Chain A
Amino acid sequence: MTPPQRRRRHPVPEPVPAPPPAPEPVEQEEQEEGEKKNPERLYIITGPDGERAPLDLVTLIVARAEPPSSATPEQTAVLRMCGAPLSVAEVSAYLGLPFSVVSVLLTEMLAAELVQARAPIVRQHLPDRSLLEAVMHGLQRL
């Protein structure tokens, strides 16, 4: 019996980043009506400035402060669970909220200096050999 056959592919050069799309012309009246009719949960949790910090799934989050009295339930939950470092993915899992929503929530908390972020180790053109060796030693212990 012969297995099905695949054909290898090759790296594609990085695409030139497309210019940001022009904002869609939306009539003011229409937009206001839409907002009133359909408030999104995302909007409620994250406030009006839905900007995202460049948070990775494995950026580690650590609490820097006690929950202030003005904290939302989600912010309080994050501050409680991030007494020890915790990845954004874990925060998302424990809160039961999508990654994108948690990213926005954490971006706001970073701006308010409620939490600190520790950037992940990412693959580079020249990978860090000592890191790879540390990972191999770590796996051998399992």
Chain B
Amino acid sequence: MDFNGSDTIPGPRAEDHLPQSTTAAAKIVIVGGFGVGKTTMVGSVSEIKPLTTEETMTQAGIGVDDNYGSETKTATTVAMDFGRIRITDEVVLYLFGTPGQERFWFLWEGLFEGALGAVVLVDTRRLEVSFEVMGRLEERGVPFVVAVNTFPDGPRYPLDDLRSALDLAPEIPIVECDARRRASSRDVLMTLMRFLHALALSNGLA
């Protein structure tokens, strides 16, 4: 036991320690516009209190050269909340809630490339903010499912109408959810895993 000011050392609580046998981690990305409920969803299924990792984006005055030599650079901090679920004694799953704008994604190298898949969280009050992110995932070949976070004041569309409005490929699942509820958020993740499993089966046959 270390009594030398151990309470000031940052780190996880003892009950949050992963077993030494944990050999590998996988990740899932939850992506959507501002205020769509990404953090809520991460928090509702995570076994640890959600944490935040951040990255600093420095913008040197683009196209402006009259500030040459001055110290004016604007730094924007972009935060990403994440949580964790222990799967087995060997495997742990991380969930990252990330901003929808692609210009932020490069800040975390390999965020999408290495992810098992993504959940696109949409809000029917601002459906169009998710268009760009879906297009980018399609271009990058990242498998995703769509979860419609139901807000009491949001317009309700039948899922078939949303499917055609979002021009989803027929095999891509779309489900409604309440990101505040653990069971509902878990079901979204299950939907993604089943979809990935089906993809693995069809790829395996090819």
Interface residues of A (CB under 8 A from B): 1-12, 38, 56-60, 62, 77, 80-81, 83-87, 89-90, 92-96, 98-100, 118-123, 125-129, 131-140, 142
B175 within 8 Å of A (CB atoms): no
Contact B71 A38 (CB under 8 A): yes
Counting from the closest, the 5 A-B pairs by CB-CB distance are: A81-B11, A138-B87, A93-B51, A122-B114, A84-B17
Please name 14 further chain A to chain B contacts, defined as beta carbons within 8 Å, in addition to the given A87-B25, A123-B114, A123-B143, sorted by A numbering. A4-B131, A8-B135, A57-B94, A58-B94, A77-B9, A86-B11, A94-B12, A94-B51, A99-B55, A119-B24, A121-B25, A123-B117, A128-B200, A142-B182
Minimal beta-carbon separation of A95 from chain B (angstroms): 6
Tally of B interface residues using CB under 8 Å: 78
Taking a contact as CB atoms closer than 8 A, the residue among A83, A89, A129 that contacts B53 in the complex is A89
Name which residue of chain A comes closest to B187, CB basis.
A139
B61 within 8 Å of A (CB atoms): no
A129 to B110, CA, bound (A): 22
Minimal beta-carbon separation of B10 from chain A (angstroms): 4
- Inside 8 A of B88's CB, which chain A residues have their CB? 134, 138
Consensus secondary structure, chain B interface: mixed
Name which residue of chain A comes closest to B117, CB basis.
A123
Taking a contact as CB atoms closer than 8 A, the residue among B12, B85, B138 that contacts A142 in the complex is B85
Contact B200 A5 (CB under 8 A): no
Minimal beta-carbon separation of B17 from chain A (angstroms): 4
Contact A89 B139 (CB under 8 A): no
A90 to B22, CA, bound (A): 15
Contact A134 B87 (CB under 8 A): yes
Name which residue of chain A comes closest to B17, CB basis.
A84
Contact B199 A127 (CB under 8 A): yes
With known contacts A10-B139, A56-B110, A58-B25, A132–B157 Cβ distance under 8 A: no
Minimal beta-carbon separation of B153 from chain A (angstroms): 14
Name which residue of chain A comes closest to B190, CB basis.
A139
A119 to B96, CA, bound (A): 18
Contact A131 B26 (CB under 8 A): yes
- Inside 8 A of B116's CB, which chain A residues have their CB? 121, 123, 127, 132, 135
B65 within 8 Å of A (CB atoms): no
A140 to B117, CA, bound (A): 18
A80 to B200, CA, bound (A): 40
Minimal beta-carbon separation of B63 from chain A (angstroms): 18
